[in-house]
Every structure is written in structure tokens, then in C-alpha cells.
């Protein structure tokens, strides 16, 4: 990226990124935007912990606290964790299967811009009359009654960004099925690619439920329908079902790619083939399947009755089995390996006990009878932060360190990386371990303050101190990024020295066409196999020939912008006369640009063989 910046002016680079359809650049866009929202969500988390540091605190008001809490959850799940995972999927998956790009480069770009405009729309609520305040789950009984436009921002913003995610999921599925390099059978795919595959399938079948739920919410709040209004025959439980039919697969959408990243890391830094590869694949698919069968365990106290509760409880506990298979496989991968404790490996090793702790409380919560005790207490908060931070966020940090050289051509500083890890690891357990006990002692979740003399002071203060450790860790990581980018010491193909999969066989960052000749894959850990036979790189599977590339396009940006504009029209329809015209205008922008895309032929272009011959894989052109 930086070499490019030196050659071109800022405007040219900006235009390049606004119109790019290259999966590697879209990965960088996802990383930057997701990283930005991660900092925003982190800031909101800090406000929550500062408010709860001491009893009767008035750092923020009760109403503002509800907004901060809602936006923390919504931002972290939809605008930070998912885009950051998409960043790694985009950056790495096509390289791992030996593809030159994803199946639909144009849609890849569209997916990013939809997410981005949805996220910006949601966060504009802070400046336009108040953020949503009904929690990230936005239960209809609360959200229908919420005044102002906060919930409208939530529903419309998530609708736009959700469409982007769905497009991304379809794109990855087709890429993996249709574009694997010669010899790359399904059972030779790296675990991260498998995780991407199953995750994408989950996205495809989970997100439409959210889409419908959000539509019903939008219609109820902005267009006068009565889905959730009991007085008119409506039923608020419908929202809960749709939200969790989406919401439970969503947690596997987040954690399966995390498992994938860790599987790569354990194998690389133990210098061993991943233990039990087939059972890992099986476990991933099984988790994805069972993930759809358990949504109502979020609703045990809704009153579904003992039979439904029992079925969902048993199904939930069953997920512990494939997850346990994975945990043991990772442990056995390390067993007898020659382990190097690099920064990614530290995160991976720390992930196992942290995530297992979250899993254990998960099985406790799965027991419907016990859940009546834990429900809506800090025990639940502790549980889901153990799995999401201890699983997903650890993986994002690990993945950032692992793949930074592949994405940017330079290594993050290992010393600072380890400091980040130590601070974050301590801070994480300090913050959330004590919250289990806070919950058991009776502290309800989502409460904006508590009284003195109830035995909650010390534990809450401990939790807040822990949060500052995590904040410090993130700041050091940012410093690390700045230092690394300024130094910009270039690295070769395989900077960790023990890369096993195809992405490490090509330059860092890869040339924009990825592979000059598609590689011939001869087994699992294709690059490692070649290295073990003393070869320097992959054998080509095809003679050098012209490479077909897609053209850049500004249309994805415009399509997304149109929906962004239309969302404002829908939201202000009831109180401003310009609402409907703006809604129509926005939809016309979107449909019009889709029309242009449809009628204008776009055949892409070819890189000619002769040009490829001159260019000996220098890689700086990316």
C-alpha cells in the first residue's frame, strides 16, 4: 500500500480504493473500517465501565447509558467483529485456495460499501437526536416504545449493512466451490478456508431472518403496520424468534473463522500438521448445522413451556461435543511439536483456557432450569464476553499479527505485540472473570448504576481496572502499527518461516493477479509439502498465459449511497414532507446504478503473457 502511496498522489489512491474490486484492497478497507468501529465500540465499553466503577455514579445519565450500551453491542458485533473477520477472509481465503480473485469482485466491493454506509448511518444517530437504546437485541416490546429516531437508525442501518454481509457470504461460497486451484480438493483446503465456507453458509441462511425481522420493525415504526402491537393483534415474540434465528448462528459466524485462524496458527508455530484434520472439518460443519437448532435457548424465560425448553437445552449442550473435539485437536497439534511462542501463538495458546471457560458457562446456561437463575444477570455478560472476546477478539489480534506481513508486506513488532498480548490477557480476565460472581451475587445486566452497601463495589472496581488494561493494550497495538508502517521493512514470501499453505508461497503483499501461474496442489499444507521436498515454491499447474482481470468500478459505492439516502427519507417520512421524495430519490439512485451495471457490458481486461514475463514476481505492484 505504501509503495503505491509514494508513486501516486493522495487523490489517485483514494479513487483507487473507492473503485477497487481487488480482494486484497477490499480486505484493507474492511480492516480500516472495522478497526475504526472497533475503537468506537471500545470507547463505548470504557464509558460503561467508568460509569459502573463506583456506586451511584453520574458519569453518564441513565438514558445515555442505555444508548451507549446498545451501541457498544451493536457496533462490536455488526461493525467491528464481522468486518474484521471479513478482512481476513478477503485477504487470505482466495490465496489459500490458489485463486486470482473472488468469484464476484464487483459484489465484493458492493458488500463492503453497503456495510460501510450502514455503519455510518447507524453511528450518525449520535448526532441526529440520539442513538438506539433498546439493547443490541432490540426486543420489540422495548423498541416499539422507544421515542426519537434511535431505533430507526438501528433498523435501517443494520438492514443496509446486513445486505452487504449476505452478498459477501454468497461470494465466498461460490469462490470456494468454483475457483480452487488444480489439485485443491475439499479435503485439502486449509482450515481457515473451511471455516470461511461454513461461515458463509451460515450467513446465507441466517441473515434473511434478520432481514425480515428488521423489515417488520421498520414497517411498524415508520409505516404504521402492527406486527408487534398486541392491541392490534400483533405479537412481540415474533421479533425475538427472528432475532435469535439469526442471532444464534451469528455467534458461530463470528467464532468459526476465529477457530480457523487458530487452526492455522497452531499448525504453523508447532511445525506440525494440524492434528485430526478430518475431524476438524467434521466438527466445523457440525457446529454450523447445530447452530441453527438452538436459537430458543436465548428465550427460556419467555414461557415456551418445558418441552420446547428441554429440546433446545439438549441441542445446545450437544454443541459442546464438536467444540470439545476442536479443543483436543489443537492441544494434540501442539503435543510433540517444536513450538515457537510468537505473538500469534501466544494469543492462540491463551485462547484455549479462556474459550473453554466461556464454553463451560455456556453449558451451565444451556440448562433451562438453571438459566432461570442466571437470566439477565452479569453471569450472562461474563459468559458471552468470555466466548466473544476470548474467542473472536483474541483471534482478530492473532490474525492481525499473523497476516499483517501478507497484507502489508511488513511485520508488526514482536516485542510490542507481546506487550499488547500480556496487557490484554490480564485486562480481559480481570474485567470479566469477576463478572460471573457479580451475576451470581444478583447484579442485573444492563443496569446503569448500583447502590452502595450491597457488596458489589469492589468487584465492579476490579472489573473497571481490567478494562483500562485492555484499552492500554489496544493503544500499544496502534503504536505498533504506526511504528511498523513508518519503518516499513519489507519481508519475503514466508516471513514466519514455517508457512504451510498457499498464501505463503507468493510475495507479501501478493501481486494484484495473485498467481502468475495457478499452483498445482499435491496435498494438505501444499506449500509445506513442496518445502519438505526441497523446492522453493509451488509447481505451476498451467503454462504462462494471459490473465483475465475485472475492471474497477465506482458503481458499488453509488448503489450503497443511494440506500443511505433512501434510509433518511424513510426515517423522516412521518414528520417532514421531504421524506417520501428523498426515499424515492435514494431508491432511484440505487436502482438506476444497478440498471447501468446491467446494461453496460463489462468484460474486464487481460494482462498479457509478455508483460508477466518481464515482471519476476516482485509483488510491489499490488
Partner 1 sequence: MAAEQKMTYETWPASPEKQTLEAKNKFLGFWFFLGGETVLFASLFATYLALKDKVPSSDMALAKDLFEIPLAFIMTMLLLTSSLTSVYAMYHMKNFNFKKMQLWLGITVLLGLGFLGLEIYEFNHYVHEFHHSFTSSAFGSAFYTLVGFHGGHVAFGLLWITTLMIRNSKRGLNLYNAPKFYVASLYWHFIDVVWVFIFTVVYLMGMVG
Smaller CB separation from partner 1, 71 or 296: 296
Torsion-angle region of 346 (φ positive above 0: left; ψ -120 to 50: alpha; else: beta): alpha
Smaller CB separation from partner 1, 44 or 220: 220
Smaller CB separation from partner 1, 11 or 233: 233
> With 0-12 CB in 10 A as exposed, 13-18 as middle and 19+ as buried, what is 147?
exposed
Angle at 421 between CA 388 and CA 250, to 5 degrees: 15
303 is an interface residue for partner 1 by CB under 8 A? no
41 is an interface residue for partner 1 by CB under 8 A? no
List the one residue from 137, 225, 370, 615 that touches partner 1 (CB under 8 A): 225
3-state secondary structure of 145: coil
Q: Find the shortest distance in angstroms from Cβ 612 to partner 1.
A: 19
Q: 587-590 — which CB contacts under 8 Å span 24+ positions?
A: 587/562, 587/563, 588/562, 589/558, 589/559, 589/561, 589/562, 589/565, 590/558, 590/559, 590/562, 590/563, 590/566
Q: Which of residues 146-185 bind partner 1 (CB under 8 A)?
A: 166, 170-171, 173-174, 177-179
Say how far residue 537 (Cα) sits from the centre of its chain: 32
In the chain, helix, strand, coil percent, each to 5?
70, 0, 30
Segment interacting with partner 1 (CB under 8 A) among 238-246, 379-387, 420-428, 514-522? 238-246
Q: Mask of contacts with partner 1, 568-587, x by CB under 8 A?
A: --------------------
Please list, in sequence order, all residues whose beta carbon lies within 8 angstroms of the beta carbon of residue 54, skipping any fewer than 6 positions away.
457, 460, 461
Smaller CB separation from partner 1, 417 or 519: 519
Smaller CB separation from partner 1, 103 or 261: 103
List the one residue from 278, 577, 598, 616 that touches partner 1 (CB under 8 A): 598
Per DSSP, 523 falls in state: S
Q: Find the shortest distance in angstroms from Cβ 590 to partner 1.
A: 12
209 is an interface residue for partner 1 by CB under 8 A? yes
Q: Find the shortest distance in angstroms from Cβ 249 to partner 1.
A: 11
User: For residues 51 and 62, what is the distance between their CA atoms, to the nearest angstrom?
Assistant: 10
Q: Find the shortest distance in angstroms from Cβ 209 to partner 1.
A: 5
List the one residue from 186, 341, 578, 595 that touches partner 1 (CB under 8 A): 595
Q: Find the shortest distance in angstroms from Cβ 574 to partner 1.
A: 13
Beta strand pairing call for 605-607 and 547-549: antiparallel
232 is an interface residue for partner 1 by CB under 8 A? yes
142 is an interface residue for partner 1 by CB under 8 A? no
Cis bond leading into 509, ω under 30°?
yes
211 is an interface residue for partner 1 by CB under 8 A? yes
Contact (Cβ atoms closer than 8 angstroms) between residue 524 and residue 188? yes
List the one residue from 18, 39, 50, 238 that touches partner 1 (CB under 8 A): 238
**Residue 381: strand pairing partners:** none
106 is an interface residue for partner 1 by CB under 8 A? no
Q: Mask of contacts with partner 1, 505-544, x by CB under 8 A?
A: ----------------------------------------
List the one residue from 215, 437, 441, 468 that touches partner 1 (CB under 8 A): 215
State the cell numbers at 100: 486470482
Please list, in sequence order, all residues whose beta carbon lies within 8 angstroms of the beta carbon of residue 562, skipping any fewer than 6 positions away.
586, 587, 588, 589, 590, 591, 592, 593
Select from 261, 293, 247, 251 the least CA-distant residue to 196.
261
State the cell numbers at 475: 493503544
Q: Which H, E and C letters describe 75-132, residue by residue?
A: HHHHHHHHHHHHHHHHHHHHHHCCCCCCCCHHHHHHHHHHHHHHHHHHHHCCCCCCCC
Q: Find the shortest distance in angstroms from Cβ 473 to partner 1.
A: 38
User: For residues 8 and 148, what is the distance between their CA atoms, to the nearest angstrom?
Assistant: 46
Q: Find the shortest distance in angstroms from Cβ 609 to partner 1.
A: 16
3-state secondary structure of 437: helix
Segment interacting with partner 1 (CB under 8 A) among 31-39, 360-368, 376-384, 593-601? 593-601
List the one residue from 145, 182, 185, 223 that touches partner 1 (CB under 8 A): 223
Q: Find the shortest distance in angstroms from Cβ 221 to partner 1.
A: 12
List the one residue from 3, 57, 235, 449 that touches partner 1 (CB under 8 A): 235
Q: Find the shortest distance in angstroms from Cβ 336 to partner 1.
A: 41
Smaller CB separation from partner 1, 197 or 424: 197
Which residues sit at the interface with partner 1, rule CB under 8 A? 103-104, 166, 170-171, 173-174, 177-179, 204-209, 211-213, 215-216, 219-220, 223-227, 229, 231-235, 238, 241-242, 245, 595, 598-599, 601, 603
Amino acid at each position: 500500500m505504501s509503495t503505491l502511496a509514494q508513486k501516486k498522489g493522495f487523490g489517485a489512491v483514494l479513487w483507487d480504493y473507492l473503485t477497487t474490486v481487488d480482494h486484497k484492497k477490499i480486505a484493507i478497507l474492511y480492516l480500516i473500517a472495522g478497526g475504526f468501529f472497533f475503537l468506537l465500540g471500545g470507547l463505548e465499553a470504557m464509558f460503561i465501565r467508568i460509569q459502573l466503577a463506583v456506586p451511584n455514579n453520574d458519569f453518564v445519565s441513565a438514558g445515555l447509558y442505555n444508548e451507549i450500551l446498545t451501541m457498544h453491542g451493536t457496533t462490536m458485533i455488526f461493525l467491528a467483529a464481522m468486518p474484521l473477520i471479513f478482512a481476513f477472509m478477503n485477504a487470505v481465503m482466495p490465496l489459500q485456495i490458489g485463486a486470482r480473485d473472488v468469484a464476484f469482485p464487483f459484489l465484493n466491493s458492493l458488500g463492503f460499501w453497503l456495510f460501510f454506509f450502514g455503519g455510518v448511518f447507524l453511528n450518525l444517530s449520535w448526532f441526529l437526536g440520539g442513538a438506539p437504546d433498546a439493547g443490541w437485541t432490540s426486543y420489540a416490546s422495548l423498541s416499539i416504545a422507544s421515542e426519537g429516531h434511535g431505533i430507526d437508525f438501528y433498523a435501517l442501518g443494520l438492514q443496509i449493512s446486513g445486505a452487504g454481509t449476505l452478498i459477501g457470504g454468497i461470494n465466498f461460497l461460490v469462490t470456494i466451490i468454483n475457483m480452487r486451484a488444480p489439485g485443491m480438493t475439499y479435503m485439502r483446503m486449509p482450515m481457515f478456508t473451511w471455516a470461511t465456507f461454513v461461515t458463509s453458509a451460515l450467513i446465507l441462511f441466517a441473515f434473511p431472518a434478520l432481514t425480515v425481522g428488521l423489515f417488520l420493525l421498520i414497517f411498524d415504526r415508520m409505516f404504521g403496520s402492527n406486527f408487534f402491537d398486541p392491541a392490534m393483534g400483533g405479537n412481540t415474540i415474533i421479533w425475538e424468534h427472528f432475532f435469535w434465528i439469526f442471532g444464534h448462528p451469528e455467534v458461530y459466524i463470528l467464532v468459526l473463522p476465529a477457530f480457523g485462524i487458530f487452526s492455522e496458527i497452531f499448525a504453523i508455530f508447532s511445525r506440525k500438521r494440524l492434528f485430526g484434520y478430518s475431524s476438524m472439518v467434521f466438527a466445523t460443519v457440525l457446529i454450523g448445522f447445530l447452530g441453527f437448532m438452538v436459537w430458543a435457548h436465548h428465550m427460556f424465560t419467555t414461557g415456551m413451556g418445558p418441552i420446547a425448553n428441554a429440546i433446545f437445552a439438549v441441542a445446545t449442550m450437544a454443541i459442546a461435543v464438536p467444540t470439545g473435539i476442536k479443543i483436543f485437536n489443537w492441544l494434540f497439534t501442539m503435543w510433540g511439536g517444536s513450538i515457537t511462542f510468537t505473538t500469534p501463538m501466544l494469543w492462540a495458546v491463551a485462547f484455549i483456557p479462556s474459550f473453554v471457560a466461556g464454553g463451560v458457562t455456556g453449558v451451565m446456561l444451556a440448562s433451562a432450569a438453571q438459566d432461570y437463575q442466571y437470566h439477565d444477570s452479569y453471569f450472562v455478560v461474563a459468559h458471552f464476553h468470555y466466548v466473544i472476546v476470548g474467542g473472536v477478539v483474541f483471534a482478530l489480534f492473532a490474525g492481525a499479527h499473523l497476516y499483517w506481513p501478507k497484507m502489508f508486506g511488513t511485520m508488526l513488532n514482536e516485542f510490542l505485540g507481546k506487550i499488547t498480548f500480556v496487557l490484554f490477557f490480564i485486562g480481559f480476565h480481570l474485567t470479566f472473570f469477576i463478572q460471573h460472581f457479580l451475576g451470581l451475587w444478583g447484579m442485573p445486566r444492563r443496569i446503569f448504576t448500583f447502590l452502595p452497601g450491597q457488596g458489589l463495589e469492589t468487584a465492579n472496581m476490579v472489573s473497571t481496572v481490567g478494562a483500562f488494561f485492555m484499552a492500554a493494550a489496544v493503544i500499544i497495538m496502534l503504536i505498533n502499527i504506526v511504528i511498523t508502517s513508518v519503518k516499513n521493512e519489507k519481508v519475503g514470501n514466508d516471513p514466519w518461516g514455517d508457512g504451510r499453505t498457499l498464501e505463503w508461497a507468493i510475495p507479501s503483499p501478493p501481486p494484484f493477479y495473485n498467481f502468475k501461474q495457478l499452483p498445482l496442489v499435491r496435498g494438505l499444507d501444499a506449500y509445506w509439502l513442496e518445502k519438505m521436498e526441497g523446492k522453493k515454491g509451488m509447481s505451476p499447474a498451467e503454462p504462462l498465459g494471459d490473465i483475465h482481470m475485472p475492471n474497477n468500478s465506482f458503481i458499488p459505492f453509488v448503489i450503497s449511497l443511494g440506500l443511505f439516502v433512501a434510509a433518511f427519507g424513510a426515517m423522516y417520512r412521518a414528520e417532514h414532507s421531504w421524506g417520501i421524495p428523498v426515499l424515492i430519490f435514494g431508491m432511484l439512485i440505487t436502482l438506476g446504478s444497478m440498471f447501468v451495471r446491467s446494461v453496460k457490458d463489462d468484460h474486464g481486461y487481460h494482462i498479457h503473457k509478455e508483460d508477466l514475463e518481464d515482471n519476476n514476481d516482485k509483488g510491489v505492484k499490488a
